[in-house]
Structure 1
Amino acid sequence: MTARNQLTASPRLSAKTRQAYLGDWAHFADYLRDEQLTHPRQIDDRRLRAYLAHCQQRTLDARSIARKTSALRWLLRSWRDRAQGSSANPDNLKPPKAAKKLPDAPTIETINQLLDATLPQLSGDPRLLDRDRALFELVYSSGLRVAELVAIDLVDLDFSEAIVRVTGKRDKTRLVPVGSRAMTRIQAWLPIRQTLLRDPAQTALFVNRHGGRLSTRSVQMRLDQLSRQLGLGQSLHPHQLRHAFATHVLESSGDLRAVQEMLGHESLSTTQIYTHLDFQHLARVYEAAHPRAGRRRTDSPPETETFTDRD
């Protein structure tokens, strides 16, 4: 019995589903012809994943791709039952993961509300509000991931050039401009930081009330609480500030390359940061485009030797 006959005779599927599967098989057959594949033996798990990726690239919705996956599983099982020779395992076949949707970027007005407002006191220690102002300014100013933010040490800041050295995913390092307002907030925070320290050897830029390095979870909770208490109309997450940075700078400048450099996307290597990055151009784009950048020095690229390399 052919796969088509098996499908038609199956009592487990509705007539509508059977018809949809036949259409999916026809679409798959067209794809195989285009790829010059003429026999089941040529179809393995890799070929099937490539086909489903092809469907995803054609912007088929997730439901359609899930149905095509089920239709292919049925076809593969039929081939297996009839010893047709395909090496593909129907149990391994899964629809490709849907692309993650970026969070909605807060508007410039919302960002200004957060960063310019008188922050409500969330704990018994008002010193933490100065820390919060500084760290939220820095996240938005430089488009940092929250893990990158809490990993910053004092030595990573170059106050004369208004840049910060950031260690991102896979320990890749990049230099990112810091806006004048963020630098002002950080400078106001530093003497307060000293009063919180219990260990004079602590290197973290941002510390908690016990003097230890601030955790990513603490940053997330503080931003969530503050955004709610300020009545911003949405609960903000640190990654939304990073997304806002990218959106607002890109909308103003149109320079995707500069934004990619500042965000530290994985496609850029650490070497490229030092050899291919036109820092003066990046700084001009940043200065002109970032809503809170202010004035900063752009007459010369930063000297990377001023930083102490980590082991």
Structure 2
Amino acid sequence: MFLDKFIQYIKFEKRYSPHTVSAYQSDLDQFLLFLNPPHTQPSVTGPADVTHHDIRNWMVQLMDDGVSARSVTRKIATLRKYFKFSLQEGDITANPTSRISAPKVPKYLPVVVDGDKLTGMLDGKMDGEFDKIFADDFEGTRDKLVIEMLFGTGMRLAELVGVKETDVDFYENTVKVLGKRNKQRIIPLNSELVQLLKRYIEVKKSEKINNNSLTLLVTNKGADVYPKLIYNTVHRYLSNISTQQKRSPHVLRHTFATSLLNKGADLNAIKELLGHANLSATQIYTHNSVERLKSIYKQAHPKG
């Protein structure tokens, strides 16, 4: 298939993460299915057969099917990268995406949870009362570590899944994270998180959870944790403190960044902690801070 060369390129030369490669593959397969519907004679056998009309028609169908503008924009970005590659390879003489304008994406503020409520849940104090949420067994300790790691470091779900025990430096109190495009960064750990990590590793050893890969987080049977397990864990525990629809690991990443900014942390420092490639990606959190200041102003100022 003519898409294979591009997939090999982003996988081995660009060294994109498996998650990113899978997303590119999915977008391209979906586009190809639109061009060559089942039970019909294929009309597109290579990138040179695709026109800007084909891409526009696909966009229209996606929008008609209720696909969000953000998702459509991402899919068009996939096509831009693919046809740019095809142009460089000499497979086409003109890029059909050059005549395509992606739909405007509405800007949304990052969704966060209440930091005080989250801290209360982790400390076992819900609404000022003692309320033990996490069990003392292996599963409870691991679940608490999942929440603490995401909230305490701001790492992405995929990054947390990939952390190994050897990535944790108990001498420097840091954790090494492998981010997007295999870029490593070092994140400091607070003292409570360090103690929880030590306790978790002890419980894992004492209960003889068998795991040969040395991955930090494992299932009850010792297998490597997988993204769905992490997502379900976060969603379940955040249900104790929030009724908002979004209760994902990325919400904890947003909460981490917003909390730091509200406490006066430098934006460039937050950028490095989050592993953003440029500052513009980090600046979105300033909007949450401005909204918080407006709220404080309205509550506290006589003419607010």
**Aligned counterpart for 1:260 among listed residues 264, 271, 278:** 271
Task: Give, as a single letter, the amino acid of the residue that structure 2 aligns with 1:159.
Answer: F
Verify: 1:198 aligned to 2:210, yes or no: yes
CA-atom RMSD in angstroms? 2.8
Residue 97 of structure 1 deviates from its aligned partner by: 4.8
3-state SS in 2 of match to 1:253: coil
SS in 1 for 2:187: strand
Write the letter of the residue equivalent to 1:114.
Answer: M
Indicate whether 1:119 and 2:126 are aligned: no
State the match for 1:142 in structure 2.
Answer: 153
* Candidates 208, 215, 226, aligned match of 2:219: 208
2:147 match: secondary structure? helix
Ranges in structure 1 where 5+ consecutive residues have no aligned partner: 1-44, 46-61, 63-86, 269-311
CA deviation map 1:275-298 (0-9, x unaligned) = xxxxxxxxxxxxxxxxxxxxxxxx
CA distance in 1, matches of 2:97, 2:177: 45
Checking the alignment, whether the CA contact within 8 Å between 2:260 and 2:270 is kept in structure 1 is yes
Offset of 1:128 from its aligned partner?
0.5
**Which secondary structure state, in structure 1, belongs to the residue aligned with residue 181 of structure 2?**
helix
Q: What TM-score, normalized by structure 1, do the two folds share?
A: 0.52
Q: Which amino acid aligns with 2:243?
A: G
Residues 256-309 of structure 1, C-alpha deviations (whole Å, 9 max, x = no match)? 0000000001239xxxxxxxxxxxxxxxxxxxxxxxxxxxxxxxxxxxxxxxxx
1:43-192 correspondence runs (5 A): 93-98=100-105, 101-117=108-124, 118-119=132-133, 126-192=137-203
TM-superposed deviation, 1:98: 1.4
Q: Distance in 1 between matches of 2:271 and 2:96?
A: 39
Cα deviations across residues 196-254 of structure 1 (Å, max 9, x unaligned)? Answer: 5224x3311110011011111101101111222x2533352111111111111012124
Q: Distance in 1 between matches of 2:165 and 2:267?
A: 30
1:175 counterpart SS class: strand
Residue of structure 2 equivalent to 1:218:
229
For 1:267, give the aligned amino acid.
N
Tell me, yes or no, if the aligned pair for 1:162 and 1:179 is still in contact at 8 Å: yes
Matched letter for residue 240 of structure 1: V
Query: Conserved in 2, the CA contact under 8 Å of 1:137 and 1:181?
Result: no
**1:234 pairs with 216, 224, 244, which one?**
244
Amino acid in the other structure paired with 1:110? K
Number of corresponding residues: 179
Tell me which stretches of 4 or more aligned residues in structure 1 moved more than 4 Å. 87-92
**Contact 1:169–1:266 (CA<8 Å) still a contact in 2?**
no
CA distance in 2, matches of 1:204, 1:90: 42
2: CA distance, partners of 1:155 / 1:171: 17
Corresponding residue SS for 1:207: coil
Code of the residue aligned with 2:108 in structure 1: it is K
The alignment's TM-score, normalised by the length of structure 2, stands at 0.53
Deviation at 1:106, TM superposition (A): 1.3
CA 1:156–1:120 in structure 2 vs 1: closer, same or farther (change >3 Å)? closer
Q: How does 1:4-19 map to 2 (within 5 A)?
A: none
Secondary structure of the residue aligned to 1:133 is: helix
Cα 1:226–1:89 shift into 2, 3 Å:
closer
For residues 262 and 98 of structure 2, the distance between their equivalents in structure 1, rounded to whole angstroms, comes to 45
Instruction: After superposing the two structures, state which structure 1 stretch, 249-258 or 94-103, moved more.
Output: 94-103
Compared CA separation, residues 232 and 155, structure 1 to 2 (3 A): same
- C-alpha separation between the residues in 1 aligned to 2:242 and 2:139? 21
**What letter is aligned with 2:133?**
L
What is the CA-CA distance between 1:138 and the residue it aligns to? 1.2
Distance 1:114 1:237 in 2: 16
Find the aligned partners of 2:95 and 2:263 in 1 and give their Cα distance: 49
**AA aligned opposite 1:171:** N
**Which of 1 and 2 has greater Rg?**
1
Q: Which amino acid in the other structure matches residue 225 of structure 1?
A: R
